[in-house]
Amino acid sequence: MPGETLWEIAKAEVEKRGINGSEGDGAEIGEKSVFFIGSKNGGKTTIILRCLDRDEPPKPTLALEYTYGRRAKGHNTPKDIAHFWELGGGTSLLDLISVPITSDTLRTFSLVLVLDLSKPNDLWPTMENLLQATKSHVDKVIMKLGKTNPKAASEMRQKIWNNMQKDHPDRELIDPFPVPLVIIGSKYDIFQDFESEKRKVICKTLRFVAHYYGASLMFTSKSEALLLKIRGVINQLAFGIDKSKSICVDQNKPLFITAGLDSFSQIGSPPVPENDIGKLHAHSPMELWKKVYEKLFPPKSINTLKNIKDPARDPQYAESEVDEMRIQKDQELEQYKRSSSKSWKQIELDS
């Protein structure tokens, strides 16, 4: 319709797909959505292309991008559809998180957080901002769903505990993310050359966060073997393929831990001398791990992590001719504002 933005049209299309594909309360449907968020230039597009068997070079993601894949469960059966969404810009475009997450898509929705292991100082703020923004929106959608379809909302709240065995010792200590979550550490080939102590802190911290949220955790790189493992995990989210039960918690190897298979006792306490733990004032285990992590990897200055509210000013999208025209238009606008201001002052004086 005239006046609608691109994102309003996209959101309406997502809602329409959800309505057409989800008859009944909590019914199993042949469409699932997987939403990739994470570090800027962290390798999200590469993972998606690999999962879809597309042999093409990855391009920078412009804001929010969509693609899909199909897979048949057997001979002469309709193909299941997986909708892949990818948020670009790291933490700079959080407002777009609401586009693919609606009350109609939420019941078959999964989240994949890709973190660049080669930039440990950016890791915690990227993870924290994206997970908080996504969780906040998902919680609102579930609350809204509960008003119109209480049964579906209740099923969703129960479903998040499926990965945790009823007799797991940490069951009372975790807070599962409201939708299935996979955390992927990318660029392991660079990370593996870090000092042992740095690798230890990063591995233990990510294990704690993943286990606390009831998420799976795995590391990857350009290695074909690692990409195949990641592809299997994504296919499980997208098409319901059987979940892998393999596990690797050795910090000298790429981590691979399926949700529910880790434990706080295996992870251990935050890697900091016992004398220093008492000096770290924290209100929760998550806050304690954050303080320990940021002591070794302090986040960059506010200016470098500041959200870019206007993507047109983001250097990665620079185009000289367009930018020159933009500058010219900005100057014309400022001139118009000054001219208008003078006119209003003159009117006030005359009156």
CATH number at residue 160: 3.40.50.300
Does residue 164 fall inside a structural domain? yes
Does residue 169 fall inside a structural domain? yes
Higher-scoring residue by pLDDT: 293, 304: 293
Domain span holding position 61? 28-71+78-270
Cβ-based neighbours of 5, under 8 Å, separated by 6 or more:
none
- The pLDDT tens digits of the residues spanning 55-91 come to 788 787 778 999 998 887 766 677 889 999 999 988 8
Does residue 275 fall inside a structural domain? no
Q: Given this model, what pLDDT does residue 6 score?
A: 66
Does residue 210 fall inside a structural domain? yes
Q: Given this model, what pLDDT does residue 180 score?
A: 94
Does residue 83 fall inside a structural domain? yes
Does residue 346 fall inside a structural domain? no
Count of domains in the chain? 1
Does residue 225 fall inside a structural domain? yes
Does residue 350 fall inside a structural domain? no
Higher-scoring residue by pLDDT: 109, 328: 109
- The pLDDT tens digits of the residues spanning 213-235 come to 999 999 999 888 898 899 999 98
- The pLDDT tens digits of the residues spanning 307-345 come to 445 556 666 556 777 777 777 767 766 665 566 555 555
